[in-house]
Structure 1
């Protein structure tokens, strides 16, 4: 049930009241962020209160053919359910990439990817001295987060695409076994473990292109996955996932609602054979709970409007604007777009910068990444064809 947004069109100058219904929220939740799939963006700090029965529009409901006057307030028509509601809940998955390891975290599970180039010598399955120091750190994190009641801790080995499948499968299995033994020696018998080798069958990056060496390096890895122990604030006991202390980044308080700040940097880029130009105006980034919100405007400088599907800035990559991300220059840690659900098919951003195409128009863009540590006051914004934009302030 909710406002029917599929058969209506909005008229300039009029305000439209909209009703949305979500699955039930945890009783302890008193504020939330509502994300829109347009340039309206994110609405942080929205209060959550107990309702008093079905919600009905307060404004007059507009008909399909109505043309409300500028300044008037109307409501979209509300449609009822003709079957079970299709709403659902999804974990948010934050991705960080460092020089030694990458981490994919949600509120319920974590996957740590370790570069085998650091763990092992070429074509070997014996751990290096440096690997043992790295596994000390991983074991400490695992002990603090992993839930022994939800086994196993899964160690999975992967290779690049060179070599035959049988050889790659054997090498990846032996490397996973070696990491399992080291983790078990550090964590003991309170946990259950399983190791498996996938060989080259589950690459993270496409090999054979202009970045082949980097792609192969990214694909050579050992991944350690486990379920996260849930905690309530102050008790450390099992509870609703809505109260997890560190669900993806350096957790902090939810952000209040705020206007965008002033432009702190601008960059230019050209696209297509016609030389269409765009300008990106970067605003201060800000923290919202365990995440960092990157905010910017993209201005069409012409000469043409250009199709909106060519102006995709999705943090999953693709489109004319490519793959946007945020990095901490002091640690070289890269923070990538937060995904909705494990499959990675949707991200917490609208994905497009052009909802208004005409030259001279601008569109607001935003995306979420895991929050860097609280000591990080500025970050570098990798804005694809607009280049690296350093010293973006974090509020």
Structure 2
């Protein structure tokens, strides 16, 4: 969201941002020297219900301010209520430092609530009439509010209720990073708002301060959403991409696609499977048994690279899909409905014609299994299937407070503080801190040859932190940054954008990945231009 700053007799006004800030991260679950290891997060959270967790959660951090000085902000999460149709998030924001500048805007990741088990992403609901979010306002329909440095301002925002009855949700937003374990309270009616008093202090017509501001808190009016709104546009899903030597798996919401790399299954320009293809199909069949119930429709789709005539590619893709279907049917029996399609070179994953043309073309030559999985059916168990196709889902992570960096690496004049990863439901949340080591403002340059593997799907390597990826030790399986499906064919990385950095201060950022198995205790992080960082702990 782009916000504006206006000046008045109060000194300044600024947008009532939809974002939160944080420099507190997560409680350090690693033991001190000589102490016993604590229980694993799965064991801890299994014994905790939402009623056992007390709010508020308090976080501090630095907020990017365009047109002015970046400032420290404290955010307090006070309540998250579910009335069966909407979620109401009640929090307060206090700007801890004075903002300079006349034309001010905030930038960064939007406020989101995430169900880390299902992968559902919830956004604040906006009013179709004026485009501003339901909840707190100073002048209805406007995003401008007075700046009250060092005075908490309560804010309410409304979201769609999640599809599943989640006890805990995860909150993310501008420099808030990862705020897991926010308990959901189920109510018949939302808690009434205290009597608004901001207009007793600041005239909404003239922006003149009528009397001294209170010392404890100032309350804004709000507009809650009326019942029955269509909120489908404010519900998104996380898309994961896990890549291995023989196959990759993509999942978004209830849609899953396993892609077998055709070069390991077919000779050049041939449609008869090789002997190695039989082993790959057997592993894929085991994965399908684990991921699905019986009587599920699976579409087998053949793809080629962009080289060659369209007609030839179409025929080859159809023949390969049919050959794989026949092998798969032998393995699965009659419990699944299998159909085939050939799409030739219509849906290229990697861009061809560049320096990595050979790898890109190999990426595009593939045979896919496409099917639907119920949202509630998230985890899989068993063995013998494809490493990339196993879904690892644990319970939501509890709320933590602070965490020390695991290591610090440098690229030119920029330091990167790497924090331990936190396993939250089906995902790993990786916090990093960018720090300008010079004495002047610095534009973060994160591009570099290290940002992507040759032949990587281009949509997973774009954006400031899109080049980040994880490698699982031992298996070589690669996990890419999660993308959020915003609409048909519309995606954005679930990774924060990094803007101009002031000297000395740490700016926290978040990248989210699909989780590995529970036995994995560390991962190798490839941090774009910062290179390879082995042994980052998972907790």
Instruction: Say which SS state the counterpart of residue 339 (structure 2) adopts.
Output: strand
- TM-score normalized by the length of structure 1: 0.84
In structure 2, how many angstroms separate the alpha carbons of the residues matched to 1:9 and 1:386? 40
Say if 1:43 and 1:167 are closer, same or farther in 2 by CA, change over 3 A: same
Answering whether residue 342 of structure 2 is matched by residue 197 of structure 1, we say yes
Distance 1:78 1:3 in 2: 4
Question: Does 2:415 correspond to 1:269?
Answer: no
Q: Does 1:79 align with 2:79?
A: no
Q: How many residues align?
A: 373
Post-superposition offset of 1:128:
1.1
Q: Is 1:173 equivalent to 2:328 in the alignment?
A: no
Deviates more, 1:328-337 or 1:63-72: 63-72
In 2, the alpha carbon distance for the partners of 1:144 and 1:249 equals: 10
SS in 1 for 2:319: helix
Instruction: Kindly indicate whether residue 251 of structure 2 is the aligned counterpart of residue 101 of structure 1.
Output: no
Distance 1:343 1:248, change over 3 A: farther
Call closer, same or farther: CA 1:195–1:31 in 2, change over 3 Å. Answer: same
SS in 2 for 1:132: helix
**Can you list the C-alpha shifts for 1:112-156, whole angstroms capped at 9, x where unaligned?**
0110011111111111111111111111111232355552x1111
Give the corresponding residue for 2:398. 256
Other-structure match for 1:331: 475
Task: Quickly say closer, same or farther: Cα 1:28–1:70, change in 2 above 3 A.
Answer: same
- Provide the C-alpha distance between the structure 2 equivalents of 1:44 and 1:289, rounded to a whole number of angstroms: 10
Task: Give the 3-state SS of the residue equivalent to 1:380 in structure 2.
Answer: strand
How far apart, in 2, do the equivalents of 1:42 and 1:13 lie? 24
Q: Structure 1 243/121 Cα, relative in aligned 2: closer, same or farther at 3 Å?
A: closer
| TM-score computed with the length of structure 2 as normaliser | 0.63
Structure with greater Cα Rg: 2
Q: Does 1:185 align with 2:357?
A: no
In the alignment, structure 1 residue 25 sits paired with structure 2 residue 171: no
Larger mean CA deviation between 376-385 and 192-201 belongs to 192-201
Secondary structure of the residue that 2:408 maps to in structure 1?
A: strand
Matched position secondary structure for 1:90: strand
CA-CA distance at 1:80 after TM superposition: 4.3
1:43 aligns with 2:43: no
Gaps of 5+ in 1: 231-240, 271-276
State the partner residue of 1:213: 358
Q: Assess, with a 3 A threshold, how the Cα gap between structure 1 residues 59 and 264 changes in structure 2: closer, same or farther.
A: farther
* 1:315–1:113 distance in 2 versus 1, CA, 3 Å: closer
Q: Could you tell me how far apart the structure 2 residues matched to 1:105 and 1:21 are?
A: 27
Q: Which residue number in structure 1 is paired with residue 432 of structure 2? A: 296
Q: 2:150 aligns with which of 8, 13, 22?
A: 13
> Offset of 1:343 from its aligned partner?
3.8
Q: 1:365 to 1:164 in 2, by over 3 A?
A: same
Distance 1:58 1:3, change over 3 A: same
Q: Please state if 1:365 is matched with 2:509.
A: yes
Q: 1:163 offset after TM fit, Å?
A: 1.2
Question: Which stretch has the larger CA shift, 63-72 or 178-187?
Answer: 63-72
Counterpart for residue 157 of structure 1 = 302
Task: Let me know the Cα RMSD of the aligned residues.
Answer: 3.0
Q: How many angstroms apart in 2 are the aligned matches of 1:333 and 1:327? A: 6
2:379 to 245, 251, 255: 245
**CA gap 1:160/1:366 in 2 versus in 1, 3 angstroms:** same
Counterparts in 2 of 1:70 and 1:293: CA distance versus 1, 3 Å:
farther
Cα deviation digits, residues 231-265 of structure 1 (max 9, x gap)? xxxxxxxxxx3463359841111100113421111
- Tell me, in whole angstroms, the C-alpha distance in 1 between the residues paired with 2:460 and 2:429: 16
